[in-house]
Amino acid sequence: MKLILAIVQREDAIILTDALMEAEFYVTKLSSTGGFLKMNNTTLMIGTDDCNVEKALEIIKNTSKSREQFVASPMPVGSMDLGLSTMPIKVRVGGATVFILDVDRFEKY
């Protein structure tokens, strides 16, 4: 048995959850926050048999798309650094970060 942890952008989470449930995977959704951009993410926990891992990964790969987005970046203003202003920069966000863990024991009550 495996536990798949998939960290996806919030915009992709609803579509991904629906696709996983349609394929008869059990999914638990957790709100999370990313480190680099401090953006809201969703972490999905998917428990499955070893033989279904590739099927789940294919659904995650096809549903979680990366995209470019503008974010505000602090930038010093003036030669004396009297204040901070923001400058939009383009970054790549989205996609999925996936961890696959062995499960020694599973109980459902």
Distance in angstroms (rounded) separating the CA atoms of residues 31 and 102: 23
Residue 87 lies in a domain: no
E strands, 14-65, in order: 26-33, 40-48
Residue among 56, 91, 61 at smallest CA distance from 73: 91
* CATH code for position 48: 3.30.70.120
Task: Give the chain's domain count.
Answer: 1
Is pLDDT at 106 greater than 60 in this prediction?
yes
Residue 31 lies in a domain: yes
Residue 84 lies in a domain: no
Instruction: Give the pLDDT confidence of 54-74 residue by residue, as tens digits.
Output: 999 999 999 987 766 666 665
Domain span including residue 45: 2-64+94-102
Residue 51 lies in a domain: yes
Average pLDDT over residues 24-33: 90
